[in-house]
Chain A
Amino acid sequence: MIPESEFENVLAKKYMRTEIMPHAFCPGCGLGIIERIILMAFEELGWDEWEKTVFVSGIGCSGWVPLYFRRDAAHTLHGRALAFATALKASRPELNVIVVMGDGDSMGIGGNHLIHAARRNIGITAIIATNMLYSLTGGQMAPTTPEGARTQTTPYGSIEPNFDLMELLKAAGATYLARWTTYHFMQAKNSLKKAVKHKGFAAIEILFQCPTYAGRYILNKPDPRDMLQWFKENSVPLTVAKKKDPEELKGKILVGEFLHRTDRVEYTEKLKELEKRAKGG
């Protein structure tokens, strides 16, 4: 028997800074599950992949995710995580650059960087943790807040329709797209493994439970267990959704692997070619 005061999880012991844990997230916050998804993917990919991985994060609750890993991480300006990551990937193309952003960070403040990174098709893996509002600052409306939802800044219900990130990035030119929730952690892990190996811009949107703000304001479910149950009941896989009417799917979360293209050339490969041409080779 291991005494419970000295006990440490096996995965946490191998990859995380356990001396600064427990982490700063609220009880039941899904960002811990996203951390576990990342670590489980790298546990299967192997130590060599983990050694050449760099994490970049923006501001927000999701900005804290890579700071608990025993790996190099950059905590950049609000919304500018992808701009930093683009420069990093262009200068060191052999690295796996993984960007962890929130929904307000990636679509609200850094929306321009997101679509242009997808347009260039640069080999970055973007993990977009969506909780449907700005949770660090107290529950303000974000671009992903569903229409009619009550938040701190929309007390009479939001009148704006929300973003569909998958359609946006598909049009912008990304080459790997997937959306899962924290309920589907195994599928999300498999998608992340594919995305890290993929050459080109890969984005994975993971909806996670925020019981403190999204649970209390938007869904009226302040318990994380109820929120995970809601994810389970309201998510529809793409293969099932094809057979259903669009009216039935209103208010549901479509989950699955949306896109996997291999016909576009990656940005850093083009950059190498350009360098050769400019030197006259």
Chain B
Amino acid sequence: MATVRVSQIAVSDKLCKGCYLCIWACPWNVLEISEERNWRGVKKPIATKIENCRACRLCEYYCPDFAIQVIVDEEEEKKLLEVEERYEKPWLRRIEKRNEIVSRGVWWLES
């Protein structure tokens, strides 16, 4: 399951030259070569399995032409932050407290 929902993987019509380094770089096989050519005569990569995308942005980093951008849904990200605030933060605080007590030593044996 993906941790962050990606709304769109935008590939520029103007900039993409069709070297397919993004397809080579993607570990989750999100992108595929499209069958139609665009107005520049390039078969652009399209995101066929966008639900697999983890937003690791390797396709962005390996693109030499600055043509690709992973766009993460802002509302989705806000929701995830809320969940973290409500459920994960108290749990983390409890772990921190326990670690603090353990690091202080076993108090009932020392006294």
A→B interface (CB under 8 Å): 1-2, 4-5, 7-12, 16, 21-23, 25, 27-33, 35-36, 185-186, 211, 224-225, 228-229
Partner among A1, A10, A30, A229 whose Cβ is within 8 Å of the Cβ of B64: A30
In the bound complex, residues from chain B placing their C-beta under 8 Å from that of A229 are: 24
Tell me whether B13 and A9 are in contact (CB under 8 A): no
> A228–B17 contact, CB under 8 A?
no
Q: Among B24, B66, B69, which residue has its beta carbon within 8 angstroms of that of A16?
A: B66
B18, B21, B69: the one contacting A7 at CB < 8 Å is B69
* Size of B's binding interface in residues, CB under 8 A: 26
B67 touches A9 (CB 8 A): yes
Q: Once the chains are docked, how many angstroms separate the CA of A10 from the CA of B66?
A: 9
B15 on the interface (CB 8 Å rule)?
A: yes
Q: Which of A1, A16, A28, A35 is packed against the most chain B CB atoms within 10 Å? A: A28
8 Å CB contact of A9 from B21, B24, B68: B68
B61 within 8 Å of A by Cβ? yes
Q: How far is the CA of A140 from the CA of B25 in the complex (A)?
A: 30
| Interface status of B4 (Cβ within 8 A of chain A) | no
In contact, A11 and B19 (Cβ under 8 angstroms): no
Contact A228 B15 (CB under 8 A): no
Q: Is the CB of B10 within 8 A of A32?
A: no
Provide the bound-state CA to CA distance between A33 and B61, in Å. Answer: 7
Task: Name the contact of A36 in the complex, choosing from B10, B14, B19, B66 (C-beta under 8 A).
Answer: B66
Q: B61-106: which have CB < 8 Å to A?
A: 61-69, 71
Beyond the given pairs A2-B10, A7-B11, A21-B65, 16 more chain A to chain B contacts, judged by CB atoms under 8 angstroms and listed by A's residue number, are: A4-B10, A9-B67, A11-B66, A21-B15, A22-B14, A22-B17, A22-B65, A27-B19, A28-B17, A28-B19, A28-B21, A31-B64, A32-B63, A36-B64, A225-B23, A228-B21
A33 surroundings in chain B (CB, below 8 A)? 61-62, 64
CA distance A31 to B17 in the complex (A): 14
Q: A32 with B69: in contact, given A7-B10, A225-B20 (CB under 8 Å)? A: no
Q: How far is the CB of B37 from chain A (nearest CB, A)?
A: 14
> Closest residue to A16 on the B side, CB-wise?
B66
Question: In the complex, A21→B16 CA distance in Å?
Answer: 11
- Which residue of B is nearest A208, CB measured? B64
The 3 closest A-B pairs by CB, nearest first: A32-B64, A28-B19, A27-B17
**B67 partner residues in chain A, CB cutoff 8 A:** 9, 22
Q: Is A32 a contact of B24 with CB atoms below 8 Å?
A: no
Point out the residue from B11, B18, B24 that lies within 8 Å of A4, measured CB to CB.
B11
B48 interface hit (Cβ, 8 Å)? no
Q: If A1-B7, A2-B10, A7-B12 touch, does A23 touch B21 (CB 8 Å cutoff)?
A: no
Q: Which residues in chain B, 1-60, are within 8 Å of chain A measured between CB atoms?
A: 7-8, 10-15, 17-21, 23-24, 60
Complex contacts, B17 vs chain A, CB 8 Å: 22, 27-28
Return chain A residues, CB-CB under 8 Å to B21: 28, 224-225, 228
